[in-house]
């Protein structure tokens, strides 16, 4: 069953780039941008992360905590953060459990080849832990404006 605006955001616990356990429920009382992306250091994912980095101050002023999540491991996340100077947390969902809860681990099709992968999707979660918005058609280079609209 797909998540919808108004639903309670499923809680989870995964490691961040430094191996620290992070739970969504730790952010209760704050607005959260939970963005699912396919892979560290690829062109689209880098453009998206850098757009959020370049507008991080505006996102913080609007009260948002940023959490990026992919199936990459902690080491890849650390390298990506260091190379791109990202000021926010990246979560390692190597078992794809969070992807499954949020419906972002999907069958994809490229050049006729079917495979499983991350559907780039952003969930805006309010202070109560409810989904305020779901951005399915992410514009990687303009993502902040989609969030702050």
Q: Which residues are catalytic?
A: 45
Rounded distance between C-alpha atoms, residue 52 and residue 33, angstroms: 10
Structure tokens at 109: 């099709």
Length of the chain: 149
């Amino acid at each position: 069953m797909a998540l919808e605006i108004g639903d309670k955001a499923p809680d989870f616990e995964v490691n961040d780039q430094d191996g620290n356990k992070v739970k969504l429920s730790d952010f209760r009382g704050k607005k959260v941008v939970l963005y699912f992306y396919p892979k560290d250091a690829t062109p689209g994912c880098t453009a998206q992360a850098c757009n959020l980095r370049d507008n991080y101050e505006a996102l913080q002023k609007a009260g948002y905590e940023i959490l990026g999540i992919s199936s990459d491991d902690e080491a890849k996340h650390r390298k990506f953060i260091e190379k791109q100077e990202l000021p926010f947390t990246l979560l390692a969902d190597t078992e794809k459990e969070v992807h499954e809860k949020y419906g972002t681990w999907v069958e994809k099709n490229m050049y006729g080849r079917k495979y499983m992968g991350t559907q780039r999707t952003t969930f805006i979660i309010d202070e109560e832990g409810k989904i305020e918005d779901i951005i399915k058609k992410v514009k990687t280079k303009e993502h902040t404006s989609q969030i702050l609209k």
